Structure 1
Amino acid sequence: MSYLTKLKGSPASIPPRPSLKEISFISLGVFLAASVIGFLAYFTNEPIIMGSFGASIFVLFVLPDSPFAQPRNVIVGHFVTTLVGLIFYHLVSSDWWSMAIALAIAIAAMQVLRVPHPPAGSNPFIVFLLGANNDPMIIGSWDFLWMPTLIGSVLIVMVALLYNNLSKNRSYPKYW
């Protein structure tokens, strides 16, 4: 098969649309997870929310059986990629090339540790973009690793654990 032929895609059809009941169940779970971290961020005035959490919530509620949605992947994936981003931002360089290397190493680290979580792949970018603002409350210290990264990822996994198992058709997680 030639390269250009591959670009046309295979003849597979798109997946079927979930039922309205399933869409409603998923949407309520998404709302609850976003509400928990949103309310806690507002109530405690602490930065518990990170942009990549929106995509993590999608994976946890739309694709709970996926390896990417398992608790270890979500929590460790976010932690490792943020750590790599912080190391490169603070100890290597805040230039574009350092960000690119940080992303490559972060994704490699998730694979080596067997904790791939695609939304966490954006964390090195988040670290560099927030760091570029030079806001000491957000990224000036290594606290970003704990809050929002670790605390936020644990919270959304806890909501997914409690909520996904309310459905008789779901069993979450598949493994720890």
Structure 2
Amino acid sequence: MSLFTMVSGFISIVIMAFAAYLTDAPFIFPALGPTIFLIFSRPMSPSASPRNIVLGHLFGCLCGWGSLAISGLLGEESVLTAGVGLPRILAVGLSLSLTSGFLVLFDLDHPPAASTTLIVSLGLMSSPAELAVLMLAVAFITVQAVMMNRRAGFPYPLWKPSRDWHPSEGRTRPPA
């Protein structure tokens, strides 16, 4: 499993890095790393299911963007340039709490979405075009996850996580 995780993770992030290189668009971002790790190290866990990946990052984007709007930071410089002020404190607090609340409410276990919402609320990727590319990258990674995990013999879900899965079986197939 370790070799599968390493090789699959390498292939996935390199594909996304080439997409970024060829298009000059942000197809790689920090939250993609832990998402890829979950997909290939624990493919049968709910956190790695396509539903939780796509909807988790979508909620992260929307809550981060909404928090920027509420705090008056839409279109403003990122935290790296502007520093941390009271509006930014409000934005990050709102984005993380809203994202966490929605993920729990809708049973969308995907911790990397918490990173996505901070990336957005910190202003690192916050324009509609950047968020569209971010979600496109998530979709591409999800398609790669289905293809690579199924090719490796895992009954990786097409959308919803398997209800037969138990946390102690994170690296293995669910019981038949």
| C-alpha distance in 2 between matches for 1:27 and 1:82 | 28
Q: Tell me which of 163, 167, 174 is aligned to 2:148.
A: 163
| C-alpha distance in 2 between matches for 1:41 and 1:175 | 26
| C-alpha distance in 1 between matches for 2:159 and 2:26 | 29
Would you say 1:145 and 2:131 are equivalent positions?
yes
| C-alpha distance in 2 between matches for 1:86 and 1:153 | 17
| C-alpha distance in 1 between matches for 2:101 and 2:144 | 28
Give yes or no for contact 2:60–2:116 (8 Å, CA) kept in 1: yes
Q: Tell me which of 98, 102, 112 is aligned to 2:105.
A: 112
| C-alpha distance in 1 between matches for 2:128 and 2:152 | 39
Report the CA distance between 1:174 and its aligned residue: 6.8
Give yes or no for contact 2:70–2:91 (8 Å, CA) kept in 1: no
Q: Using structure 2 for the length normalisation, give the TM-score.
A: 0.77
RMSD across aligned positions (CA): 1.6
Give yes or no for contact 2:31–2:112 (8 Å, CA) kept in 1: yes
Give yes or no for contact 1:74–1:117 (8 Å, CA) kept in 2: yes
Tell me, which stretches of 5 or more residues in structure 2 are unaligned? 73-86, 161-176
Report the CA distance between 1:145 and its aligned residue: 2.4
User: Which string of whole-angstrom CA distances, capped at 9 and with x for unpartnered residues, describes residues 124-157 of structure 1?
Assistant: 211133x2x6xxxx43x22232111x10111111
Q: Using structure 1 for the length normalisation, give the TM-score.
A: 0.77
| C-alpha distance in 2 between matches for 1:174 and 1:46 | 27
Match runs of 1:1-176 below 5 Å? 22-93=1-72, 94-129=87-122, 131=123, 138-139=125-126, 141-148=127-134, 150-168=135-153, 170-173=154-157, 175-176=159-160
Report the CA distance between 1:165 and its aligned residue: 1.2
Give yes or no for contact 1:65–1:174 (8 Å, CA) kept in 2: no
**Greater relative CO, 1 or 2 (CA 8 Å, sep 6+):** 2
Give yes or no for contact 1:103–1:121 (8 Å, CA) kept in 2: yes
Q: Considering only CA atoms, is the larger Rg found in Structure 1 or Structure 2?
A: 1
Tell me, which stretches of 5 or more residues in structure 1 are unaligned? 1-21
| C-alpha distance in 2 between matches for 1:147 and 1:26 | 25
